Amino acid sequence: MAVLSPDQVQPAEYSKAFDAESVGALLKQGVPGAVTSASSAGIVVDSAKITDVLEWLKNSPDLAYDYFNSVTAVDWADKFEVVYHVASTVRGGPPLAIKANLNDKENPVISSASSVYYGALQQEREVYDFFGIKFAGHPNLRRIFMWEGFEGYPLRKSYKEAYYEQERKPFETRWDQGHHIIIEDRVPWHDNVIYPKNFDATQFKQIREIVRVAPIIEQGDSKALKTQPIVVSVGPQHPSTHGVFRMNVTLDGETVMALEPIFGYLHRNHEKIGERNTFYMNIPFTDRLDYLSGMAMETGYVLAVEKMLGIKPPERVEYIRVIMNEFTRIVSHMFGGIGQVYSDLGAFFTPIVIYGLEERELVLDLFESASGSRMMCNYMRFGGVWKDLPEGWLEVAHELAFNRLPRVADEMETYLVKNEIFDIRAKHVGVLPPDLAVSYGVSGPMLRGSGVKYDVRRADPYSIYDRFDFNIPVGTNGDIYDRMWCRIQEIRESIKILQQAIKTIPGGEIQAGKKAYSFKVPKGDVYAHIEAPRGEFGWYVVSDNNTTPYRYHVRAGDFVNLATMEQMCVGHKIGDMVGVLGSVDIIMGSVDR
Amino acid sequence: MKLFPTGTITGMWLVLKRLFRSYPNDIQENMKAGSLFKATSPQVASERASVNQKGLITVEYPEVKLKPPENFRFIPFLIYEPVLDAAGKPIVDAATGKEEIGVERCTACGICAKVCPPQCIWIVRAVGDDGKPKPKAAEFYIDIDVCMNCGMCAEFCPFDAIKMDNDYELAGYERHVNHIYDLPTLMKSTTYYESIKPTDYAAEEAARKAKEEAKAKKPAPAAKQATAAASAAKAATPTMQEPPATE
Ligand code: SF4
Ligand code: SF4
């Protein structure tokens, strides 16, 4: 497959944004009878025509909704609502919400969008797992986070989890008669598992067949000696799998023939917890998603709720957020996106990881002195931040941004660009062509490494990113090398943003309005997305005018990116597979949620 | 591939440079402490962990400990004001070594239990002889295994009664008893609070004083002024308009 050069895929102009109403009007002509209603909240379409609608949106030359952000569902009292978000890498602009209602609550079925966007393959499995909504035509519709024998659909409102106490927090048992009990004693069935009614453990068989769902690109050298294929389970406890992640790899000799990622070992149903929590309580929980970039996670979530509440943070807060986010990106790339990949390629704990860690220490010290914690910062607030920056903070940040980090970035580039060993290991390995990357909804340095110039900070600017001068680095080949190269360049661009922000940060308030711990959020839904170090992270939050979210969904960039593992690995040696996985740069906290 | 791996050698050279930068520097610092084999002194340690450090930035925990920043937060505790003697010094109980409890600030209002995200605060409100609730906690538990150290309880307590601690060394052999902090374990004096968070303490005391003075004088308008002054003082935030010149 030909790889496009950056110019070919570079978006000409981002200015042409369509709102949902005008897209709805166009869609009415394009797919007659599909649109039920169109408002700023999104386009409601006939569930029977969903694939036609998506197909049309994708292929329409003006609209060009080629990018699949997310699919999720909402369990309403009388129906299931399946919500799609699609965007355009060509045109930029905010994502468009498409909603389809399934009135049959007993047996909800909708046709799969995977024939239009490959990105739907993995995310539809998630919706099936959590809501029991069947996607007709999906080639591999199985549970993804839960195991095959799991009983129930956890995100349905009727489902009660093991530690269930009450529909929403705060729990009444805590005050004013809060006699403490150990939480484990609460589990009603005492071992945390319920089995389906006719479950027989002796008969249970795990599904092991390899289902190949998308075209495989043959790459690398597979002419080696032919041997009998075997299936090797890599992980979940393996140093190169970056946490508890497993891959079922079919090997022919040392060559990867097929690969299936297996998720769920770190699954804790963040979304269900989020629906029990009040809006405010969710902020510290978001830190536990991508724990190498907690500040970015918080920013995404507070942006979503701020949108719903209609509050705008003061200037100083916007600057602080940008500074925190860019510091996060730098250290996350240095340690996770670059250092760890070297580790995976065989340079185990050699200088590049350690040097990256050193800088990370210094930045985490900054986070700690501002927010009180190094990783679980809990710093962002709705319309503000927790506390103003302490004295001397900006001076240290200044020293880092102007002197220290640029120096270290230079050092890192020396290892990366000139190193012959790295060249051999990383060039032309794990290639992901741009069209596939877009169709899969891949984001972050992975997407840009494949040559697609798409960065949420530019395409749909949030906070005050539109005020800063920075470039979006793109690769050409879409291999490990290009991803790493993009990350190095991104570190430089982040330093540039930091320098501008630190120079111009104004004084003033750090909180808009009065802080409250419990408040009602007006009815409605919102999707807010940010460019986190590991790609596009989006928060889809639905409120039914209550103190807790009715629906809280996180679109994790690295979870979506992982769907392309098979495409990138088939034909390569198993040693390269480890490097490819490293270059995807995953954090299981956000992959499994 | 090139025959001569210049890039790889350049990389190795970088490592060597780092080595020279780190170890002589390490030896120097240890000599400052008096002996090559002595642990780094706290002053040297904090210099070492700063941005200007070119060599190693680590210190040898647990021999050397870095002081956590003031904002650091770990497991909350409850604040009491100690009983003062004639000279205004807190009276220390000889048996326990703790300062004697004067005023417990917590009024058992329950706000912290309501904001706590993992719901790990449990409060039983005290009841007086007449059967009416009293503004005092009879029992107060924090399950520190569940606590996520978010600091929200301290953020929203209206009485400055619950604050985040700086003590992070809590490892233990047992969790079902030792990790459920009860009222006596949680109680710490204002003296301790002042020692770990001097800036916060000073600001809170000043605000309290201003409030009390305003209350003593004229009720409504003066109180408004005092709070206005306090917020004005808060607004004078550190900014960086003119950064130091760099090349
Ligand atoms: S919020 Fe403060 S005063 Fe109220 S119960 Fe908690 S610690 Fe006590
Ligand atoms: S720090 Fe957070 S989790 Fe811990 S007790 Fe306070 S509110 Fe609860």
Instruction: Report the 10 Å Cβ neighbour count for A250.
Output: 16
Per-residue 3-state assignment (H helix, E strand, C coil) for chain B: CCCCCHHHHHHHHHHHHHHHHHHHHHHHHHHHCCCCCCCCCHHHHHHHCCCCCCCCCCCCCCCCCCCCCCCCCEEEEEEEEECECCCCCECECCCCCCECEEEECCCCCCHHHHHCCCCCEEEEEEECCCCCEEEEEEEEEEECCCCCCCCHHHHHCCCCCEEEECCCCCCCCCCCCCCEECHHHHEEEHHHHHHHCHHHHHHHHHHHHHHHHHHHCCCHHHHHHHHHHHHHHHHCCCCCCCCCCCC
Position A429 in a domain:
yes
pLDDT of residue A325: 92
CA dihedral A490, A491, A496, A497 (to 10 degrees): 80
pLDDT at A4 exceeding the cut of 50: no
| CB pair distance less than 8 Å for B18 and A351 | yes
| Dist CA A413 CA B14 (whole Å) | 12
Average pLDDT score over chain A: 82
Position A51 in a domain:
yes
Q: Tell whether A277 is within 8 A of chain B (Cβ).
A: yes
Q: Which residue's CA is the nearest one to ligand 2's atom 6?
A: B153
In total, how many domains does chain A have?
A: 2
pLDDT of residue B69: 87
Confidence band of A471 (pLDDT split at 50, 70, 90)? confident
Position A463 in a domain:
yes
- Ligand 2 centre to CA of B144 (Å) is 9
Tell me the CATH class for B74-222+232-236. Answer: alpha beta
**B49, B119, B124 member nearest A177 (Cβ):** B124
Higher pLDDT, B21 or A101: A101
Judged by average pLDDT, the poorest of A149-153, A326-330, A399-403, A465-469 is: A149-153
Domain boundary among A92, A119, A136: A136
| Helix locations, A211-281, DSSP H | 270-276
In chain A, residues 477-496 whose CB comes closer than 8 Å to chain B: none
Confidence band of A15 (pLDDT split at 50, 70, 90)? low
Confidence band of A25 (pLDDT split at 50, 70, 90)? confident
Where are the domains positioned within chain B? 10-66, 74-222+232-236
pLDDT of residue B242: 37
- Ligand 1 centre to CA of A170 (Å) is 15
- In short, whether B149's Cβ falls inside 6 Å of ligand 2 is yes
Average pLDDT score over chain B: 77
For residue B162, which atom of ligand 2 is closest to its CA?
6
- Taking the CA of residue A58 and the nearest CA in chain B, the distance in Å comes to 41
Q: Could you give the 3-state DSSP secondary structure of residue A176?
A: coil
| Dist CA B198 CA B177 (whole Å) | 32
pLDDT of residue A344: 78
Confidence band of B218 (pLDDT split at 50, 70, 90)? low
Confidence band of B238 (pLDDT split at 50, 70, 90)? very low
Say which CATH number the domain at A324 has. 1.10.645.10
pLDDT of residue B241: 38
Say which CATH number the domain at A65 has. 3.30.460.80
- In short, whether B148's Cβ falls inside 6 Å of ligand 2 is yes
Higher pLDDT, B64 or A476: A476
| CB pair distance less than 8 Å for B70 and A399 | no
Of A554, A534, A489, A58, nearest to A340 by C-alpha is A534
| Dist CA B35 CA B25 (whole Å) | 14
pLDDT of residue B220: 52
> From the CA of B112, which ligand is nearest?
1
| Dist CA B2 CA A122 (whole Å) | 42
Residue B243: which residues within 8 A CB-CB, separation 6 or more? A398, A402, A502, A503
A9-31 burial by CB neighbour count: b if 16+ within 10 A, else e?
Answer: bebeebeeebebeebbebbeebb
| Dist CA B81 CA B78 (whole Å) | 10
- Taking the CA of residue A171 and the nearest CA in chain B, the distance in Å comes to 7
Q: What is the full DSSP assignment across A276-340?
A: HS-TTTHHHHHTTSSTT-HHHHHHHHHHHHHHHHT----HHHHHHHHHHHHHHHHHHIIIIIIIH
Provide, rounded to the nearest whole percent, the portion of chain A with pLDDT above 90. Answer: 9
Higher pLDDT, A149 or B114: B114
pLDDT 10s digits, B84-97: 888 778 788 777 77
A331, A358, A373, best to mutate vs chain B, most B CBs in 10 Å: A373
Burial class (CB in 10 A: 0-12, 13-18, 19+), B88: exposed
pLDDT 10s digits, A216-245: 545 445 555 556 677 788 878 776 667 788
Position A234 in a domain:
no
Is A537 in contact with A407 (CB distance < 8 Å)? no
Mean pLDDT within B14-40: 72
- Main-chain dihedrals φ then ψ at residue A491, nearest 5 degrees: -60, -45
- Ligand 1 centre to CA of B162 (Å) is 6
Question: Maximum distance among all alpha carbons in chain A?
Answer: 72
pLDDT of residue A18: 74
Residue A476: which residues within 8 A CB-CB, separation 6 or more? A3, A5, A6, A451, A482
pLDDT of residue A208: 55
Of A238, A151, A246, nearest to A208 by C-alpha is A246
Position A225 in a domain:
no
Higher pLDDT, A538 or A188: A538
| Dist CA A287 CA A294 (whole Å) | 4
Angle of the B198-216 helix axis to the B220-235 helix axis, nearest 10: 160
Residue A424: which residues within 8 A CB-CB, separation 6 or more? B1
pLDDT of residue A553: 92
The reported pTM is 0.85
Report how far Cα B189 is from the mean position of its chain's Cα atoms: 14
pLDDT 10s digits, A269-289: 899 989 988 998 999 999 988
**B10, B122, B243 member nearest A179 (Cβ):** B122
> From the CA of B157, which ligand is nearest?
1
Substitution candidate for ligand 1 out of B111, B134, B165 with most atoms within 8 A of CB:
B111
| CB pair distance less than 8 Å for B2 and A510 | no
Domain boundary among A84, A114, A136: A136
Q: Which residue's CA is the nearest one to ligand 2's atom 4?
A: B147
- Taking the CA of residue A545 and the nearest CA in chain B, the distance in Å comes to 19
For residue B119, which atom of ligand 2 is closest to its CA?
8
pLDDT at A458 exceeding the cut of 80: yes
pLDDT at A214 exceeding the cut of 50: no
Domain boundary among A136, A160, A184: A136
For residue B115, which atom of ligand 2 is closest to its CA?
7
- Taking the CA of residue B86 and the nearest CA in chain A, the distance in Å comes to 37
pLDDT of residue A6: 43
pLDDT at A213 exceeding the cut of 60: no
Domain with A82, as residue range(s), is: 20-136
CA dihedral A318, A588, A333, A343 (to 10 degrees): 170
pLDDT 10s digits, B100-151: 777 888 888 888 988 999 888 989 888 888 888 888 888 888 988 889 998 8
pLDDT at A189 exceeding the cut of 80: no
Position A170 in a domain:
no
Q: Could you give the 3-state DSSP secondary structure of residue A10?
A: coil
pLDDT of residue A322: 92
Position A194 in a domain:
no
Confidence band of A181 (pLDDT split at 50, 70, 90)? confident
> How many pairs of residues across A and B have Cβ atoms under 8 Å apart?
186
- Helix (H) or strand (E) holding A584, with range, is helix A574-584
Mean pLDDT within A535-564: 90
pLDDT of residue A495: 92
pLDDT of residue A299: 92
